[in-house]
Amino acid sequence: MAELTDYLATLDEPERSLLDGIRVRALELAPDATEGVSYGMPALRYRDRPLLSVRAAATHLSVFPFSAAVVEAVAPELDGYSLSKGTIRFTADRPLPPQVLTRIIALRREEIDAAR
């Protein structure tokens, strides 16, 4: 099944393209990732662990790296963004900086690899 791809197809532009770009970047950095469900959300899974999920809400977009440590590690680079323990919120007008997105994915992938 293509849970994340199917979810993204339900979104309007520009949210669809923006969140799909995150999915594509994650697959570039973790080509073995597969689509599935984690914590009730369509997500990419890597080595049977949740890697990343994205969601669109009425007022913002979110990326979920399934790791408070990853959010904490990139927090200094996200001044002005809304952060919580496991979520980074942004908008289509103010997307995540590409270098930060790359770090989020790489850090989560490394975290999963280290746990094996």
Q: Structural domains in the chain?
A: 3-115 (3.90.1150.200)
What pLDDT is attached to residue 87? Answer: 96
Contacts of residue 27, Cβ cutoff 8 Å, sequence gap at least 6:
33, 44
What's the pLDDT score for residue 90?
A: 98
Q: pLDDT at position 73, please? A: 98
pLDDT along the chain (116 residues), means of 10: 91 97 98 96 97 97 98 97 96 97 98 94
The pLDDT value given to residue 2: 86
Q: Please report the pLDDT score of residue 1 as a whole number.
A: 55
